[in-house]
Structures are given as C-alpha cells and as structure tokens.
Structure 1
Amino acid sequence: MAIEFEFDTFFNALDRTKEQVLESAFIGVHDATDVLLATSRDEAPLKKGTLRTTSGKNVEVDGNTVTGEVYFSAVEEGRSGRVNYAVIVHEMGEYKNPTTPGTRPKFLERPLKRDAKKYNGMIASAIRKGLR
C-alpha cells in the first residue's frame, strides 16, 4: 500500500505568491521613492534649480531583491574638473543664508531617516494588498 502526494499545484501556488510579493513590493518601493523624492526636492536648495531638476529615482527588481534609489546629480565643471555639487551641498553644514526658506543640507538623508517607518509601512501595505 502506498500513499502519494502531488505537490505541483502547491509549488505553483508558492511561485505565484513569490511573484505577487515581488510585484507588490515593486509598487510599494515605487510609491515610497516617489514620496522621498518629492520631500527631498522640497528641502534641496533652489538658487538655480539645478539640484531639483537633476534629481530622480530608479526602482529595480534583481532576483528576490527590490531596490529603490533617489538621486541628485548636479554635475558642473569646476576648477578641478567635473564635480557633482549635489554631494557637496548635501554634506555642508547649516546654510547661513538659504536662498529659499525651508531648504537645508542633508536634504535627502533627513527625510529618509525621519520617515523610514512611513516608507516601510507603504511597502508592507502594498505587499498586503497584492496578496489579497
């Protein structure tokens, strides 16, 4: 006497669930990076507007990993060659005379750290919604 179990349906369901989690996580990371990008743009200096107009985001899935990136890339020619002054401005001490009230250094790092729980919640919520 033998007992047989056919697991193909079970494994197919697991594969679909994994796919749903990754798709939902992609949506959640996409939404979270949208919010981070908007918030950090508002805190970035606005003297010429270059910092804000050269910012962007990218979301990618690589295997089982979903990665979201927000960037500022204000590259200009300087005495020493090409320089991404977004990094320099981001890492400066407090601005003595900001060109626009509410702008500050660490314009990307501050909102990322301050709102990390919110971003994690957005991603978790998207995954829960995708698994319904």
Structure 2
Amino acid sequence: MDFEFRVDELHRFLEAKRGAMVEAAVSGLHDATDRLLADSRDMAPLDTGTLRMTAGKEVTVKGAQAYGEVFYSATEEGSSGVRFNYALRVHEMGPYKNPTTPGTRPKFLSQPLKTNKRLYTQFINDAVRRAMG
C-alpha cells in the first residue's frame, strides 16, 4: 500500500491564499485589539473620564509581522510642575481603596489581556481559517 502527498500542490495552494490569509490575520488582529480596548476601558477608572478618553488602538504591518497595540496616553502635571504618565501610574498602583466607579481596578489593561488571551487569539485564528476556505 502506497501513500503519496503532493507537497508542490500544497505550496501552490498556500501561495494562492497568502494575500488573503495575511489580510485576514490583520483583520482578526483589529478585532482582537478592538475587544481588548473595550474590555480594558470597562475596567479603567472613571473619575473624570480622561483616562478612558485617551485610550486607543493601532494595528501596523511591517514586513511579515503584524502588531496590535492598545494604549492609554493620559498625562498630568504633578505638584512639581513636571508632567507624568497618569495612565501608567493608575495602571500600576495597588488596589483602589475607594473606587469612583464599581468594577474599576488597577491593571485595567494587562488583566483583560491575560484573562482573555485565548479569545483574542481565536479572533485571529478564525479570520485566517475563513480566508483559507
């Protein structure tokens, strides 16, 4: 009994689908970063709303790599007159003693990323699978 697998046909199939798969992966990365942005905004403190308003996301493609980023860019001026990264400070501080909004917490960006990593990866995997047909 013989078994034959035509690797050249597989290569042709993958080459024909390459563009669609890359586009799909980038689309899935957009979906994943959109979801992470929404999840993290729900956990971010809401005292004045500045922190949530400065949140954003960006997906970039450089060569064969696609990168998704969710960011918070709130800055404030300290008592010394020096500006500091308020978003980073609030993210890294210990537990809130009296949160202004229930459900908010420190680590508002890293916590949903850790908790939902599989879901965010699934967005990308599903998009690529759909592109492969």
> TM-score, with normalisation over the residues of structure 2?
0.87
Q: How many residues get paired?
A: 125
Q: 2:39 and 2:119 mapped to 1: Cα distance?
A: 13
Deviation at 1:55, TM superposition (A): 0.2
Q: Which residue of 1 aligns with 2:59?
A: 59
* Structure 1 vs Structure 2 CA RMSD: 1.8
Identity, in percent, stands at: 53
Q: Which runs of 4+ in 1 moved over 3 A?
A: 10-16
User: Matched residue of 2:22: which SS?
Assistant: helix
Query: Structure 1: where are the runs of 5+ without partners?
Result: 1-6
Deviation at 1:115, TM superposition (A): 0.2
Q: Which residue of 1 aligns with 2:101?
A: 100
User: Matched residue of 1:104: which SS?
Assistant: coil
Query: Structure 2: where are the runs of 5+ without partners?
Result: 1-7
2:125 is aligned with 1:124: yes
Deviations 1:67-103 (A, max 9, x none): 1000000012222512111000000000000000000
2:45 is aligned with 1:26: no
Deviation at 1:20, TM superposition (A): 1.5
Q: 1:15 and 1:54 mapped to 2: Cα distance?
A: 40
Matches within 5 A, 1:61-80: 61-78=61-78, 79=80
Q: Which residue of 2 aligns with 1:3?
A: none
Q: Which residue of 1 aligns with 2:116?
A: 115
> TM-score, with normalisation over the residues of structure 1?
0.87
Q: 2:84 and 2:16 mapped to 1: Cα distance?
A: 46
Q: 2:45 and 2:26 mapped to 1: Cα distance?
A: 30
Q: 1:124 and 1:16 mapped to 2: Cα distance?
A: 19
